[in-house]
Structure 1
Amino acid sequence: MSAVIDSNPAQPRWQTITGLVLSGLIVAFLVFDGAIKLVPIAPVTETLTALGYAANPMLARSLGIITLACALLYAIPRTSVLGAILLTGLLGGAIATHLRVGSPVFSHLLFGVYLGLMAWGGLYLRYATVRRMIPFKL
């Protein structure tokens, strides 16, 4: 199984490092985002209300657990593709929520797209298997 997700030893070092940096940034953001939802601090419940959800601490904690689970799966090399798939679903829900409430496009609505591109971009740069699954033909 490890041969499926191993990085290509022949690929340039910059590509592997760039992929690791992108993936590390995603994991750091998700851990922070999940942790503040576990507490949950006042800005979290206020944001839930602004997005049309109940200011329920259990809802915030549930979202925090889901976010941390996605981060953990994404951070482990053997489960990183599964983590990216689940993260894509989570981000899709965030995008739909921001679309529903009319959030600003580039700063809020597309933020989930930016994170998704970074997450998949990190895997794309690191793993030849992902590049074969998502080939870009020029």
Structure 2
Amino acid sequence: MESRFKSSVVAGWAITIAVSLFMLRDLFPDLQQASWAVKANAGLGIPANVVLLIGMAGLLSTLIYALPRTSVLGAILLTGFLGGAAFVHIRVNGSLWDVGENLLIGVAAWAGLWLRDDKLRSLLPFRRSTID
């Protein structure tokens, strides 16, 4: 049982690191205000003067998520951030991939946290169905 618990924690940290690295890679062009990122955001109806703020909000949410003491708050913030991104893509008739990517990263963030945090697992347990 100890080995199973340890592997869950390792898997949870692996997912958390993957989500954090994905977010940082995705936010870096916004933080740099790369011309192609500003143009892509303009195509979604987001003005150029907001791109840096979006990048900063995403970076702050990601950093809060990556720190163990604040990871639950970070997961909540990332969920809101990614939900907003998914909504923007839905609003402009974005592809299923653009919407799904944001939703998948949000689910992965919570999965990673759930696997590595026993308090969260006790709060949100998976229950096996029993056949009587």
TM (normalized to structure 2)? 0.89
1:122-133 equivalences under 5 Å are 122-133=112-123
Q: Which amino acid aligns with 1:19?
A: G
Distance in 2 (CA, whole Å) between partners of 1:33 and 1:59 is 16
1:40-119 equivalences under 5 Å are 40-54=33-47, 56=48, 58-105=49-96, 107-119=97-109
Unpaired segments ≥5 residues, structure 2: none
Aligned residue in 1 for 2:27: 34
Unpaired segments ≥5 residues, structure 1: 1-8
Distance in 2 (CA, whole Å) between partners of 1:50 and 1:91 is 18
Q: Report percent identity of matched pairs.
A: 32
Q: How many residues align?
A: 127
Aligned residue in 2 for 1:6: none
Superimposed CA distance per residue, residues 82-135 of structure 1 (whole angstroms, 9 cap, x where no aligned partner): 000000000110111111111111x11111110011100001100111112222
Q: Which runs of 4+ in 1 moved over 3 A?
A: none
Root-mean-square deviation over aligned CA pairs:
1.5
TM (normalized to structure 1)? 0.86
Tell me, yes or no, if structure 1 residue 12 matches structure 2 residue 5. yes
- Verify the 8 A CA contact 1:33 1:67 in the aligned structure 2: no
Structure 1 residue 11: Cα displacement: 5.0
